[in-house]
Amino acid sequence: MPSALPSTSAAPVLRVEDLTLAFGGVKALAGVGFEVQPGSITAVIGPNGAGKTSLFNTISGFYCPSAGRVRFEGADITRVPAPRRAAMGLARSFQNIALFRGMTVLDNIKLGRHAHLKTNVFDALFYVGRARREEAELRRDVEERIIDFLEIDHIRHASVAALPYGLQKRVEMARALAMQPKVLMLDEPVAGMNREETEDMARFILDVRREWGITVLMVEHDMGMVMDLSDHVVVLNFGQVIAQGTPQQVQADPEVVRAYLGAGDVGALRRKLRGEAVTP
């Protein structure tokens, strides 16, 4: 179970303010606003098409909103390019795995540090000075810390294309951790995983918060995992926030029940969250 949500008296590490995103005449997001407290695990949930991935893409800089702001550690980053946001400490994984399949696990993970490297062309060409020092530091961090943490030492030299889906998702998380994030954004981290893989990923998410002090913001459809891990839950439907609060508060909200089930049966939603059959 998650620890208590960090005190709301602390300044939020991430604040989304009245965020609006439109594609032509269709609004993917309409006035979305919420805060992410430092050291917390915050989950964004909602039915398919609710705007969850659009929200993630806007926060991470892939989409530019038509209105509203994104603030990171108090700074307005709404117009900051995605690579710069990554360098500031916003790292993310993707709903559809975005690894370089022809490269090894180790090389994929090392690419995550690219935003922080300061080597110039001359240093890199002759592999001297700063380039040599950065490479040594990167290898120590990746091999002694990240690979060991995620228990993937046995596949470090394997080609990503040869790995099963669950391990590829773990490698993608490793690459995000190599970016030295302050906020780790996970887009459906356990989608397509079996029960054992899901339990492993849930453990890693809890440990990365507890042991590394990284704040986690995730989109996830596995309601059991969301309710077990999260300190704060934000519920989207048709691009709008319809509820937010603790997992217990969200489970009991009639608007959330209607969004998921089309009826006001709180008991049915709770049974669904526990993985039990829900009859019409």
Q: Express each pLDDT in 83-102 by its tens digit.
A: 899 989 999 988 767 788 88
Rounded to whole angstroms, how far apart are CA atoms 264 and 280? Answer: 12
Q: Indicate the pTM of the whole model.
A: 0.82
Whether the per-residue pLDDT at 116 is higher than 70: the answer is: no
Top-confidence residue, 10 or 78 = 78
Cα distance between residue 70 and residue 247, in whole Å: 24
Residue 273 is predicted with a pLDDT of 56
What pLDDT is recorded for position 126?
42
pLDDT at 125: 43
Q: How far apart are CA 79 and CA 172, in angstroms?
A: 26
Structural domains in the chain? Answer: 10-89+181-280 (3.40.50.300), 98-179 (no CATH)
CB 180, CB 142: distance < 8 Å = no
Rounded Cα distance between 123 and 38, Å, is 37
Residue scoring higher pLDDT (69 or 175): 69
DSSP H or E segment with residue 182:
none
Arithmetic mean of pLDDT over the chain = 84
pLDDT, mean of residues 24-33? 92
237-249 as b/e, with b when 16 or more CB fall inside 10 Å? bebebbbbbbbee
Over residues 54-77, mean pLDDT: 96
Q: 22: pLDDT confidence band, cut at 50, 70 and 90?
A: very high
Q: What pLDDT score was predicted for residue 272?
A: 60
Instruction: Express as a percent the part of the chain with pLDDT over 90.
Output: 52
Mean pLDDT for 224-230 is 92
| pLDDT for residue 33 is more than 80 | yes
Q: What is the pLDDT of residue 228?
A: 93
Would you say 50 and 241 are in contact if contact means Cβ atoms under 8 Å apart?
Answer: no
Q: How far is CA 4 from CA 37, 195, 251, in A?
A: 11, 26, 17
Confidence at residue 115, expressed as pLDDT on a 0 to 100 scale: 54
Cα atoms in the Cβ-side hemisphere of radius 13 Å centred on 271: 10
Q: How far is CA 5 from the centre of its chain?
A: 18
Stated length of the chain? 280
